[in-house]
């Protein structure tokens, strides 16, 4: 699912991720309530489902808006039981199966550095839209997200 608003995404918009890597996916009424909360609190310019992973959702938003993106890996919310796996380098693979719902962009504002919750679901700023380029920043170093596609989005 991809939703793009008519007022359009812009470079500098903050990318937010709902949910936490390593937790069950929302379905039915809970997913609908989360979408409603996102629309009310953020008025997103673009929103994509993360069922196929965070990078797939980011690429879908980039493709539909004509913009690039930067995701900061260290900001991705990981469930406590998955933290040890993340230290072993599995976080990159987890980016293809982020559960909990959606990646969306909204204009930058003061909350852009804060994690908030909607109906108990974590909403975390994880990056931004750029004029060009698709990168994942790891330990302060940018990596081309298109080059990582085979490693990150493989089934």
Within 10 Å of residue 141's Cβ, how many Cβ atoms? 8
pTM of the model: 0.83
**Domain assignment of residue 100, given as a range:** 2-141
Query: Domain count of the chain?
Result: 1
Is 118 inside a domain boundary?
Answer: yes
Residue 21 in contact with residue 79, Cβ under 8 Å? yes
Q: What is the pLDDT of residues 94-103, one digit of tens each?
A: 554 555 589 9
Is 113 inside a domain boundary?
Answer: yes
- CATH number assigned to the domain comprising residue 46: 3.90.650.10
Is 54 inside a domain boundary?
Answer: yes
Is 152 inside a domain boundary?
Answer: no
Q: What is the pLDDT of residues 22-34, one digit of tens each?
A: 777 788 898 889 9
**What's the rounded mean pLDDT across residues 17-22?**
84
DSSP string, 21-83: BTSPPP-HHHHHHHHHHHHHHH--SEEEE-TT-HHHHHHHHHHHHT-EEEEEGGGS-B-GGGH
Is 79 inside a domain boundary?
Answer: yes
- What's CA 27's distance to the chain center, in Å? 18
**38: which 2 tokens?**
């996102």
């Amino acid at each position: 699912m991809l939703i793009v608003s008519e007022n359009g995404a812009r470079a500098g918009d903050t990318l937010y991720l709902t949910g936490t890597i390593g937790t069950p996916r929302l379905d039915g009424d809970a997913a609908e309530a989360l979408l409603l909360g996102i629309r009310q609190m953020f008025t997103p310019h673009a929103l994509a489902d993360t069922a196929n992973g965070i990078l797939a959702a980011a690429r879908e938003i980039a493709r539909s808006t004509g913009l690039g993106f930067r995701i900061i890996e260290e900001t991705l919310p990981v469930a406590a039981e998955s933290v040890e796996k993340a230290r072993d380098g599995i976080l990159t693979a987890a980016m293809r199966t982020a559960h909990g719902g959606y990646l969306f962009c909204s204009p930058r504002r003061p909350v852009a550095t804060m994690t908030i919750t909607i109906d108990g679901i974590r909403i975390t700023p994880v990056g931004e839209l750029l004029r060009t380029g698709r990168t994942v920043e790891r330990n302060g170093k940018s990596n081309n997200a298109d080059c990582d596609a085979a490693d990150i989005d493989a089934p």
